[in-house]
Amino acid sequence: MLMNSSETATPSLAVIDDLDWWGLRYTAVRVALELDIFTTIAEGHCKLEEIAVATRASKRGARILLDALCPLGLLCKAQGEYFLTPTSEAFLVRGKSTYCADAYLVLWRDRDQLMQAVRTGSATLDIPGPAAEEMWANYAAADLLTWPQSVVTAQERWTQLGITKDTRPGWLVLDVACGSGVGSFVLAQADPNTRVVALDFPKVLSIATQVAEMMGIREQVSFLPGNLHAVEVPVEQFDAVLFGAILYYFNSEDVTAALRKTYHALKPGGLVVIRGIIADEERCQNEMALLGAIELLHDAPDGEVYAFSEYKAFLETVGFTDVTQYGDFLISAKKYT
């Protein structure tokens, strides 16, 4: 029998024990969110007794849970009282503009249905669909605070592709499933002649609009509500099309259709960039991609994490050339005529 390269010659429970501890961390945070612990503390209930009453928890149960959240970096404790950390205050207090916990709760609650999804092969959520608009807006809200860090990551990705204001000045960019928009907004920020068309659900675009304002490029961005399958996109108008983490939510036919529409939307010599997790060819090594496939199994009816060879086939089928992979998260291709 062949052994996976990740296995050791001597059996060990370390992997299982580590999973057990990570599971406890996840469970503690999920229960705290379900009880609205962080919002309760933000409202001024800092003593154990007050928190227990406000969340309808036992005093003993609340104490054990609150203490466990301290080493996780979500609470701190002083003189018997509990206080929020900068992270929990920013992202886990309901009513804050950067509150994003509901997006995680949607996914975490649905994971309880994973057994059903494995047995039936059918998703129990449809997060690519319009009904998930609120969830995606909630998820994007974090970038109202974290966009400066996201800018650094986005700049690094474009540098990998060899794209700067000097190499490609004055671009018109279509950002599909733009989220907060930072992925394309950095191009506009670097070049005042670059323009961006941001495409996403209306509530998500509301977040992207605020981020564009904070980045100082609001006048360089226009916003197009909807999805690429439904909206009309002008032919041969764009210098680049950027796909956010979206294509792996669709089956191969829909991915090919989206890329064909992209091909027609690009000018000759235009660039398509696909951002998202990419599976290794044997589907046995890239942990993030393979766990991502588990996520898709229960929350996207047609989702699939594709390998580079599959993306290459999709792209070349509709006419793209020079298909190139950059690490585990980035693919580019060019349109030639």
- What is the model's pTM? 0.93
316 and 224 fall within a common domain: yes
80 and 143 fall within a common domain: no
Consecutive H or E run containing 62: helix 59-69
Strand positions, DSSP E, the chain: 75-78, 81-84, 172-176, 195-200, 221-225, 238-243, 266-275, 320-326, 330-335
* 51, 81 Cβ separation under 8 angstroms: no
- The encoded tokens of residue 250 equal 């669709």
Identify which of 207, 144, 218 has the alpha carbon closest to the alpha carbon of residue 179.
207
Instruction: Classify 29 as helix, strand or coil.
Output: helix
31 and 168 fall within a common domain: no
CATH number at residue 80: 1.10.10.10
- Residue 119 inside a domain? The answer is no
Q: What is the pLDDT of residues 198-228, one digit of tens each?
A: 999 999 999 999 999 999 999 999 999 998 8
272 and 177 fall within a common domain: yes
Instruction: Classify 45 as helix, strand or coil.
Output: coil
Name the residue range of residue 59's domain: 10-95
What is the band of 7 on the pLDDT scale with cuts at 50, 70, 90? Answer: low
- Residue 107 inside a domain? The answer is no
219 and 89 fall within a common domain: no
Identify which of 261, 238, 267 has the alpha carbon closest to the alpha carbon of residue 335.
267
Cα 312 to its chain centre, rounded Å, is 23
Average pLDDT estimate for 48-71: 98
- Residue 101 inside a domain? The answer is no
Cα 241 to its chain centre, rounded Å, is 18
- Residue 114 inside a domain? The answer is no
Q: How many domains does the chain have?
A: 2
- The residue among 70, 95, 120 that closes a domain is 95
65 and 198 fall within a common domain: no
Consecutive H or E run containing 120: helix 114-120
pLDDT at 2: 47
162 and 282 fall within a common domain: yes
Average pLDDT estimate for 264-285: 96
Burial (CB < 10 A; 0-12, 13-18, 19+), residue 111, is middle
- Residue 166 inside a domain? The answer is yes
Q: What is the pLDDT of residues 50-60, one digit of tens each?
A: 999 999 999 99
- Residue 251 inside a domain? The answer is yes
183 and 311 fall within a common domain: yes
305 and 178 fall within a common domain: yes
- The encoded tokens of residue 331 equal 């693919």
The whole-angstrom separation of Cα 306 and Cα 251 is: 10
